[in-house]
Chain A
């Protein structure tokens, strides 16, 4: 590999990239600079725009505005293949290679060494062997790729990308399915490649790894650039604040002072509830007329907690009680039977049925709860749909409109209406304000409070800390798949939540020294 580039020079320069999907602005004038020979972490919560940025740069999505320069020359790849030819290679979490072909064929597909129209299998294997040896891998390259671990497949994918003369290597969550030792090996390879002058973009939500490997960090939030920092001079607390906090205004809970919560009745409680390898056992009490917020970074166990509470995932330990009576939550059906509702994060794939009308979407859960032999009459359906369209102010107010044609905020309201129609006692909302515009944000928050005042128990997950602070009576903070802190009353503010997320004994000490 030639290395004519000055290691400190700018290799990839992204300026003013914007991208919208319909009404949703996924990226707004984002800048990103990658130097030759550096490992640059690209961070942000779910929906921050990391994937979109990568896909726009690599030509998977066309961009609305902005420029990409590679080594000073403007590039505009129209496909991942074109990006690869230009020298920008991406290795995704799900390895994009062919498990049914041999390792050697995967490395040299469509560019095998040939003689008289025949693939020189021996030469190809020798070259594959030599190439992988550079990456510290000594394996049988004639065996199918699928017979090796994900780590080996990742390294193979990286080796292929680098051998195709990549100058920019984008690694999207490469460590998510690797164990500690495999991560070390991967990091060794990344450092070696960086020394050769390749610029590496590292996307990960493991902050420890980011601090271990990266030179610089760029943080995105809600499709905007928050900032670019040197890793060495960025404290963990500051980084988390960049990722989560909208402004640094230290709002306190508006509800905390206004309501008296100890006196409220317990709706559902969980004692020592958990699942091995999923979420560490936790205690959680959910009371009528109270909002409990779940805060934490992506992958900290927020959604996992919600799924356990709803019954979408089976706990293997602990005790669940509803209104004081012991219950078993084995499936979502059990959750629904006990009066739970769950609005998942991925509302497009897990929630709404885009082709069905607003009315049909709203009555879905209620009909499922009643069972097929007791169909809701059309009159009842119309009545229910009309009531919720009015109550939640769903627009346009036509109940026969396919949900897919509504805006994100209104889709979210339809989902809410679906569960409200079953008159639940507990509603779990996973990122209810994700991907909807600012006006709708405020309205969803208003709805959350109103529902709560009507006596519903709510468990709300959000990455927007100031939002959580605004509507929560209590906030549970999670880190590394465990509940680490519960804040109530006056203690609920953005600063305390950030401190709880950032600080465990070890990293606190590290912060202290820094």
Chain B
């Protein structure tokens, strides 16, 4: 299927990296470490799934980190200060973030503005709004939080598949199905190929744009809730710069930054690669955790170079036999 060959390379990089790490620290190759890897990167996997849709459609969403931050603060305040039941708070914040994304999509389409600028504005708006709500970290003590945090499926070998990891896996699989099997997914690729042509071919470009950014913000909202489970707090400075980690994961996953090609599975693998690097650094113990950023940077360069190579290859007039028989 389209987008898989680059994703296959991502998979190879992940397997090779994992093997290398396991050779140095045999303990890495355990379900315990893998379980932690999934849990620690759950929110990133969720938000990166949404970003994959946006980038394949030829756009970008810089607001997701701020939306995560806003969500954690809103949820914490709603539950702890305003006495709202957690479930109601979740529904409310998801509705808010979906509306926020839809509004950005509408602005992008109606005023024909670059998504970069619109979502940059969205990034400042959401971050500013979370500071308005609270500038300090708000701990969440609701019982549902400890229940969810404690819930886990035991894996053979002592690993724990936590609730947030399960949520992430469900969303990744759901996202992959949505992208590859539905009309909506095909239209996302069509938009990334060429908005003008897609429109001529009958795709409702405006509606699609609104839906794509709505999906991205909605998933950022879910990522925010997961993040609040993970930290048991709401803080307006949380998830600063996560939009860039997300874009990196998507690109390392083989999605073309210019749109039109990519896959959710690739993105998931890209998230795992970033998590693996972090895990390695933790195991090593002597390396600064900033080495994660450097390794991510090197990988990004490698993947962008690879994509350019593939694009150049695709531009060459490869003529398959037409098989014309008339």
Interface residues of A (CB under 8 A from B): 80-81, 84, 96-102, 105-106, 109-112, 114, 117-119, 121, 135-140, 143-144, 146-149, 151-152, 160, 181-182, 185, 188-189
Contact = CB atoms under 8 A, between A and B. Distances in A.
B322 A101 contact: no
A80 B198 CA distance: 12
Given A97-B197, A119-B181, A137-B323, A147 B318 contact: yes
Interface string B177-193: 00001110111011011
B323 A139 contact: yes
Contacts of A81: 199-200, 202
Contact of A96 (B200, B203, B317): B200
B286 interface: no
A139 B261 CA distance: 22
Interface string B296-326: 0000000000000000001001111011111
Contacts of A98: 189-190, 193-194, 197-198, 201, 260
A139 B319 CA distance: 12
15 contacts: A98-B193, A99-B193, A100-B189, A109-B203, A110-B183, A111-B202, A119-B183, A137-B324, A138-B323, A144-B2, A147-B320, A148-B322, A149-B319, A151-B322, A151-B324
Contacts of A139: 320, 322-323
B326 A119 contact: no
Contact of A182 (B186, B189, B192, B322): B322
A106 B203 CA distance: 11
Sort A-B residue pairs by CB-CB distance and give the 9 closest, nearest first.
A136-B326, A98-B193, A100-B260, A138-B323, A100-B193, A188-B326, A110-B202, A185-B324, A149-B319
Contacts of A147: 314, 318, 320
A93 to B, nearest CB: 14
A119 B182 contact: yes
A136 to B, nearest CB: 3
A118 B182 contact: yes
Interface of B: 2, 181-183, 185-187, 189-190, 192-194, 197-203, 260-261, 314, 317-320, 322-326
Contact of A110 (B197, B201, B322, B323): B201
B325 A138 contact: yes
Nearest to A105: B186
A114 B324 CA distance: 30
A138 B320 CA distance: 11
Given A97-B197, A100-B260, A109 B324 contact: no
Given A98-B190, A119-B181, A149 B320 contact: yes
Nearest to A152: B322
Contacts of B189: 98, 100-101, 105
Contacts of B324: 136-137, 151, 181-182, 185
B240 to A, nearest CB: 34
A127 to B, nearest CB: 15
B326 A112 contact: no
Nearest to A120: B181
Given A100-B2, A146-B314, A112 B197 contact: no
Contact of B261 (A100, A111, A114): A100
A151 B324 CA distance: 10
Given A110-B183, A147-B318, A189 B326 contact: yes
A138 B321 CA distance: 9
Nearest to B202: A110
A121 B261 CA distance: 18
Nearest to A187: B326
B308 to A, nearest CB: 16
A102 B2 contact: yes
A226 to B, nearest CB: 31
Given A81-B200, A102-B2, A143 B326 contact: no
Contacts of A111: 202
A160 B2 CA distance: 21
Contacts of B190: 98, 101, 105, 109
Contacts of B201: 96-98, 106, 109-110, 160
A152 B324 CA distance: 9
A109 B314 contact: no
A307 B183 CA distance: 48
Contact of B182 (A117, A146, A188): A117
A191 B141 CA distance: 76
Contacts of B314: 146-147
A118 B181 CA distance: 6
A114 B182 CA distance: 8
Nearest to B198: A98
A185 B261 CA distance: 32
Contacts of B202: 81, 84, 109-111
A136 B325 contact: yes
A489 B205 CA distance: 61
Contact of B203 (A97, A110, A143): A110
Nearest to A101: B189
Given A99-B193, A110-B187, A149 B317 contact: yes
B197 A96 contact: yes
A236 to B, nearest CB: 28
Contacts of B325: 136-138
B320 A112 contact: no
A106 B202 CA distance: 11
A153 to B, nearest CB: 10
A101 B186 contact: yes
A405 to B, nearest CB: 26
Nearest to A118: B181
A81 B183 CA distance: 19
A188 B324 CA distance: 11
A189 B317 CA distance: 24
Contacts of B185: 119
B192 to A, nearest CB: 7
Nearest to B323: A138
Given A136-B324, A149-B317, A188-B326, A112 B183 contact: yes
A148 B197 contact: no
A90 to B, nearest CB: 9
B243 to A, nearest CB: 25
A130 B202 CA distance: 22
A312 to B, nearest CB: 24
Contacts of A143: 320
A101 B326 CA distance: 26
A154 B193 CA distance: 17
Contacts of A149: 317, 319-320, 322
Nearest to B186: A105
A23 B314 CA distance: 44
A386 B314 CA distance: 53
Contacts of B186: 101, 105, 109, 112, 119
Contact of B192 (A84, A100, A106, A160): A100
Nearest to B1: A142
Contacts of B181: 118-119, 121
Contacts of B182: 117-119
A179 B194 CA distance: 27
A94 to B, nearest CB: 10
Nearest to B192: A100
A106 B320 CA distance: 17
